[in-house]
Structure 1
Amino acid sequence: MAEWRALADVAVRPLPGRAFLAAGAASADHANFHREVLHWQASFRARAGDTWALHFEDAARFAAALYGAWHAGKTVVLPGDALTGTQARLRTRVDGFVGDWIESDMPAPDHAPDADAAMVALDADTTRLVVFTSGSTGEPVAIEKRLRQLDAEVHALEAALGTPLDGVAVHGTVSHQHIYGLLFRVLWPLAAGRAIVSRAFFPEDLLAAMDGQDAVLIASPAHLKRLPAQLSWASLHGKLRAVFSSGGALPAEAAHEVARLLGVPPTEILGSSETGGIAWRRWETEVPVWHPLPGVEWRVQDGVLEVHSHHLSGDAWWRSQDRAEADAAGGFRLLGRADRIVKVEERRVSLDALERQIETHPAVKDARVLLLGGARSALAAVVAMADGVPVPADAASRRALSQSLSRHLAATQDAVTRPRRWRFVVALPSNAQGKVTEAALTALFRPERPEPHWTLRESGRAHVDLLLDASLAVFDGHFTQAAILPGVAQLDWAVQFAREAFAMPPSFLRMEALKFQRVARPGDLIRLDLDWQAERGTLVFRYTSVHGAHASGRVVFADGE
C-alpha cells in the first residue's frame, strides 16, 4: 500500500520508474503516461463541448485519454462499442467522439501541453463518467458515476483482495469499456501502481502473455467456462496470483475446473453498473458464501438483498432483484432472481426453478427459460448441451430431445408450465461481458439466420449449407415486391459463421471486392464457402447454389488491443 494513490492523483503524481504496461509496450512507465495525459488535456481544452464519448481498444491510450479529458474538465461517456449504430444513438448526448470511431473528432492528441501548466488533483465530486448497463432486457441504460464513487470502490477492492497482488502484471480478457473491466484492468491497477497488459482475445495468446510472469487474470464466466484443457496451463502454477470473474454467474463445475487448470481458485465479484462492487467469494469450497466488500452494508428485506455503500450515487438503500439469505458465517447466499416469476395461463412459474430442473437432465449443461410474447404467451427454453453431447442435427433428433426433456419435467410440471418451444446450442449466447441477454435468447426463436449444416470445417477452410426458410426475420420489410435475401445479411452471416469456424481477430477493418451477382430467395439452398487467411487477416467468402454464384467478397480484420 506504500505506492497507493487516490484516483484523483493518478496523473498528478507519476511513479518514477514504475511499470505501467508490460515490457515491449509503447508506454513503459508512469512518467510517459503522465506526459500523454498532458497532451490529451491540452487537446481537450482546445475543444468546445463538455461531454465526450471515448472508445479505445488499447488500454494505455484509453487511460491517458480518460485522464486527459477529466483534467480538462470534461465528462466522459463510455459506450461498450464503437459501432456505427452506437455512434448514431450517442450524437444527441455528446459533443464529440474520441478514439476508435469511424468518425472520430480527435483520434490522437493534437495539441502540445503548456509547459508552465500545473496539473492539480481532480475534484472527486465534479469529475464524472457515464457508463452503460449491459442491456440484458432492452436498451442499455446510462449510469453516471462520480470519481468519488470509483475511488471508494478501488479502495475497497484493494483492502479486501489486494494483499497477494504486489508486483503483479494485470492481464485480462474483458473490455475496459465496461465498468468491471474499467475498474479491474485500468483504475485499480493505476491506483496501486501495477502493470497493465494489453487485452488477450484468444486462450493461446493469454497463456503466452502470462507465462513466466507474476500475474493476475481479469476474466468473465464466458471465457473461463471455455478454457481449452489441452493448453499447458500448469506453467502458470505458482505465478498466477489470482483469477477474477464477474458479469454473470460462474457455475460451480466451471469454477472448480478453473482452479484445477490454473492452479488458483477463481474469485467472483458480485455487482452491477448501478451498484458498483457489492461482494466477493472465492471458490475454495464447494459453494462459497458471498462476503461484502469493505464499506458495503447489506440486509435481506422480504427475502430480497438490499445494499448501501459509497459506491452508490445516493444514501438510500438499493433494492436488488436477488433473493438472498444470511449465512451463519456473516455473509449471504443468493437464491435466484426475485423478478423471474411469470404467469402462463394464470399459472405462476418460476423461471429459475424451471431452469434448475432442466439442468438435471444428463444431456444438459446450461438452460435458460423465457416467456415469448404474442397472441398467446408460451414458455421457451434454450439448452446448451453437456460436454460430449452433440447438438441435434436434424428436426427428428431435435423433436426427440425436446420430448425427452418434457418427460423429464413431467414429474414436477404439468403441460401448461413446461416449455413448448426448444432451441439446442453448443453454448448459451453471451455478450462481451459474458452475460446471457434476453434479446439474444429471443432471437433464437425468430432467427435472423438459417441453421447451419457444416460439410467441412478445417483450420483455414469451411463449407456450410444454408436453407433459406421464409420465416427468417431478414426477409421482413427489405423488399416490398418479393422476398429477397439482403446483401447486408449475406455479409453478416459470412462473418458470423467464420467466427464460429475459425479463431479470428475481433476488429473489422474493411471490405474488399464485394460482389452481389444473383438474388437469393426463400426456399433456396445456398452454400457458403469460407477461406480464412490468418497471415493476412483476410476472410474470403462465396455464396453459390444450383442457380450459380450469388455473392462473394473479402473482409479484412485487425488485431485489437
Structure 2
Amino acid sequence: MVSGNAVDWFVDRHVAEGSGARVAFRDAWRALSYGELASASAAFAGALTVAGVGREQRVLLLLQDTVDFPVAFWGAMRAGAVPVPINTLLTAETVGTILADCRAAAVVISAGLVERLGGALRSAGVARVIVSQSDGLADGVDGWGGFAGFLAGGDPATPSVAAAGDEVAFWLYSSGSTGAPKGVRHVHSSLRCTAETYAAKVLGIGPDDVMFSAAKAFHAYGLGNSLTFPASVGACSVLLAERPTPDAVLDVMRTYQPTLFGGVPTLYAGLLANPMISPGAGSARLRRCISAGEALPADIGRRWKSVVGVDILDGIGSTEMLHIFISNHPDDVRYGSSGRPVPGYEARIVDEHDRPVAHGEAGELVVRGDSSADGYWNRRVRSRRTFQGEWTYTGDTYTRDAEGYFRFQGRSDEMLKVSGVWVSPFEVEEALISHPAVLEAAVIGRADSDGLVKPKAFVIRRDDVDTIGVDALVAELQAHVKGRIGVWKYPRWIEFVDSLPKTATGKIQRFRLREV
C-alpha cells in the first residue's frame, strides 16, 4: 500500500526532479507549470489555514475545468482538508442537499455559476466562499472574495501535511444515474493506484503526451484523465471550461493538438455526426482515444476507427473504484465488449446467491483492486451492500465469454424479463444505434395492456439522414432490431425525442424515462 500525501508525488515530485518548468495545465486563458502549480496549491493550503478551515473538513469544489481546479483540489489536500468536486450542472436544490450532507466548511465556485447556485450556498450558511474566474472584480462576485485574492493570503511555501496512504483524501459524489448522489470517500493511495495501473498499462501515457478529457474533472473518469494521469508522468493536460459540445471539442483538438483524448459514447456519436469530423478529429498527433461512463456501442467504435483512424479503448469504471478497471487494450480491441481486467484488478460475475456464473450467463459484476473507495458517507447499509471485504459490487449486469472478455448488459435494476427471458436494454439500444437513421437510443421496460413488460425505446434521429414517415420508420427500426438480436427483443413502442435525460458524464438516466 502506497503511503504519503498524494500531493507530494503528483505535484512536488516534479519540482524536486527539476521539471518544474514543464507545463502542467492549459485552459483558454493561461498555462500553469508544475512549479507554479506547486506554489499556488501551497498558497491555497496556507489560505485555508488562515481562514480557519481545518484538517478533514470538507471543501466543496463547484468548478468548471480551468487551471483553478487543480490548484484548489491539490491545495485542499495539501492542507489536510478534503476536496469534494461536484457536478456543475446540478440543480440548486441538489447542491443544497449535498452541502448539507458533506457539511462543507468552504466552497470554491466558478463565477459563471454564482447566479444559478449562489442562493443554495447562502441558504446553507457556508462560512467561506471563494469565487474562481473573478479577475477584474474587486470584491469578487455577490460579495464573496475572488480566487486570486484568497491565494494572496496564503504562504506559497506551505508544506503538505503528513498523511497516511489509507487516510481519506477527497470525496466524489456518484453521478446519480439511478437516484440521489452518494458521497464516495477515497484515500490518498487510490490516486496513485489508478495511475500505475490503467494510466500506465492501458493508456500508456508518457511525459510528452498532451491529454484532453471532454469528461469533466468533477467526475472520477475525468479526474483521472485531466488531473492525475498527466501529473503521474509530468505531462500536460488541456482543460475546457465550457460544455463539451462537438464543435467545442473539435476546436480544442485543432488548437492544442492533443495526443490522448477521453470522451463518452454520446460525445463520440455527436462528433461522428459533425460535418467537421476528419482524420485525427482535428489533431495530427492523436494516437489514443478512450471511453467510459457508459458502454460504447460497437457501431460507434467501428465508425470512429474508420473516419478518425484511431481506435477507441472502451472500458468500465465507477466512482466507487475511481477509474477504469476493465478495458480494451491498444493491441486487443473488441468492439461491443468492455475488454478484460486492467492489470492490478480482478473481476468476476456472480448470481443472486454470490455464486460464479458460467461463461455467457448474466450476473452482477464484482471487482477487486486497491483503488476501491473507503465507503459511502452516512450510508452504512448501502456501504455494506457495495463494499464486501476486498470486493466491490458494481450493480452492473455483465456476461463474460470463454476468452475472458466482459460484455455489458445493463444495470442490475434495469434488466427486462421479456417472454420469460432476460433482455439487456443496452443490447436493444446498440441494435437501434446501428441503424443509419439513429443517433442515440434509450430503452426501458413498459407494461403492455396485459401487464407484461416489454421494451420501449426513446430514439433521437440523425439530422444528416433522410428518413421516411414516422410509422414507416418505426416499423423499419423494429424489423432491424429483430434481424440483429432476436424477434422477442424488439421495442414494442418507439418514441422519437429531441434529447435524452443524462448525467453530466453522459450516462442515460433511464429512471427519469420511466417517470414520463
TM > 0.5 between the two?
yes
CA distance in 2, matches of 1:429, 1:435: 8
More helix by share: 2
Deviation track 1:325-350 (CA, whole Å, cap 9, x = no partner) reads 2443xx42315237344457x95552
Say whether residues 1:55 and 2:130 are aligned partners.
no
Other structure's SS at 2:59 match: strand
Counterpart residue number, 2:390: 316
Partner of 1:517: none
Amino acid of the residue matched to residue 158 of structure 1?
A
In structure 2, the residue matched to 1:79 is: 86
More moved, 350-359 vs 87-96? 350-359
* Residue equivalent to 1:381: 457
Distance (Å, rounded) in 1 between the aligned partners of 2:479 and 2:299: 26
Instruction: Name the amino acid aligned to 2:249.
Output: L
User: Deviations along 1:210-251, whole A, 9 cap, x unmatched?
Assistant: 347352111111111121243444585651121111111222
Structure (1 or 2) with the larger CA radius of gyration: 1
Contact 2:261 2:289 in 1 (8 A): yes
**Aligned equivalent of 1:156:** 197
Partner of 2:342: 293
Asked if structure 1 preserves the Cα contact closer than 8 Å seen for 2:253 and 2:283, the reply is no
Alpha-carbon RMSD across the aligned residues, in angstroms, is 3.5
Q: 1:123 aligns with which of 135, 140, 164?
A: 164
**Shift, 1:192, TM fit:** 1.6
Would you say the 8 A contact 1:12–1:121 is kept in 2? no
Question: Counterparts in 2 of 1:478-493, with a 5 A limit?
Answer: none
Structure 1 residue 119: deviation in Å?
A: 3.4
Q: Identify which of structures 1 and 2 has the higher relative contact order when contacts are C-alpha pairs closer than 8 Å and 6+ apart.
A: 2
Alignment-derived partner of residue 34 in structure 1: 38
C-alpha distance in 2 between matches for 1:148 and 1:254: 35
Amino acid of the structure 2 residue aligned with 1:424: F
How many angstroms does 1:7 deviate by?
4.8
1:489-508 pair list within 5 angstroms = none
Distance of aligned partners of 1:143 and 1:249 in 2 relative to their CA distance in 1, 3 Å threshold: same
**Conserved? CA contact 1:266–1:282, under 8 Å:** no
Q: 2:227 aligns with which of 186, 208, 211?
A: 186
Q: Percent identity?
A: 21
> Any unmatched runs of 5+ in structure 1?
447-561
1:355–1:12 distance in 2 versus 1, CA, 3 Å: closer
SS of residue matched to 1:80? coil
Which letter maps to 2:80?
Answer: G
Hey, what's the Cα distance between the residues in 1 that align with 2:252 and 2:440? 31
How many Å apart are 1:442 and its aligned residue?
Answer: 3.3
Moved more, 333-342 or 64-73: 333-342
Contact 1:99–1:106 (CA<8 Å) still a contact in 2?
Answer: yes
Task: Give per-residue Cα distances to partners, 1:145-188, cap 9 Å, x unaligned.
Answer: 11212221111123313546431211121211111001111111
Instruction: Check 1:406–1:57 CA distance in 2 against 1; reply closer, same or farther (3 A cut).
Output: closer
Aligned in 2, Cα 1:7/1:406: closer, same or farther, shift over 3 Å? same
Decide whether aligned partners of structure 1 residues 8 and 440 sit closer, same or farther in structure 2, where only a CA change above 3 A counts: farther
Which residue number in structure 1 is paired with residue 293 of structure 2? Answer: 247
The AA in structure 2 aligned to 1:182 is: L
Preserved CA contact (<8 Å) 1:9 1:122:
no
Match of 2:407 in 1: 334
C-alpha distance in structure 2 between counterparts of 1:233 and 1:356, whole Å: 24
> For 1:410 and 1:58, how far apart are their aligned partners in 2?
43
Equivalent residue, structure 2, for 1:90? 98
Runs of 5+ consecutive residues of structure 2 not aligned to the other structure: 122-128, 132-146, 350-355, 374-386
Number of residues of Structure 1 aligned to a counterpart in Structure 2:
431
In the alignment, is residue 215 of structure 1 matched against residue 215 of structure 2? no
Check 1:17–1:386 CA distance in 2 against 1; reply closer, same or farther (3 A cut): closer
Q: Does 1:10 align with 2:10?
A: yes
When residues 203 and 153 of structure 1 are mapped into structure 2, their CA distance, relative to the original with a 3 A threshold, is same
Q: TM-score normalized by structure 2?
A: 0.72
Mapped partners of 1:357, 1:231: distance in 2: 24
Matches of 2:461 and 2:26, distance apart in 1: 39
Q: CA deviation at 1:68?
A: 1.2
Q: Indicate conservation of the 8 Å contact 2:11/2:231, yes or no.
A: no
Please name the residue that 2:141 is paired with. Answer: none
In the alignment, which residue of structure 2 is the partner of 1:525?
A: none
CA pair 267-402 structure 1, distance change in 2 beyond 3 A = closer
- Mapped to 2, the partners of 1:79 and 1:255 lie a distance apart of 29
Which residue matches 2:506? Answer: 434
- 1:12–1:34 Cα contact (<8 Å) kept: yes
Q: Give the Cα separation in 1 of the matches to 2:73 and 2:330.
A: 34
* Residues 360-381 of structure 1: per-residue CA shift (max 9 Å, x gap): 7775565433134899575432
Question: Is it true that 1:65 corresponds to 2:78 in the alignment?
Answer: no
- 2:325 is matched with 278
Greater Cα shift, 131-140 or 177-186: 131-140
- CA deviations 1:76-106 (Å, max 9, x no partner) are 2221126422321123122232222523612
2:495 corresponds, among 418, 423, 436, to 423
Give the structure with the higher percent strand: 1
In 2, Cα distance between the equivalents of 1:146 and 1:350? 38
Q: Residue 171 of structure 1: SS of its match in structure 2?
A: strand
From 153, 174, 177, the counterpart of 1:136: 177
* Structure 2 residue 368 is matched with structure 1 residue 368: no
* Paired letter, 1:77: V
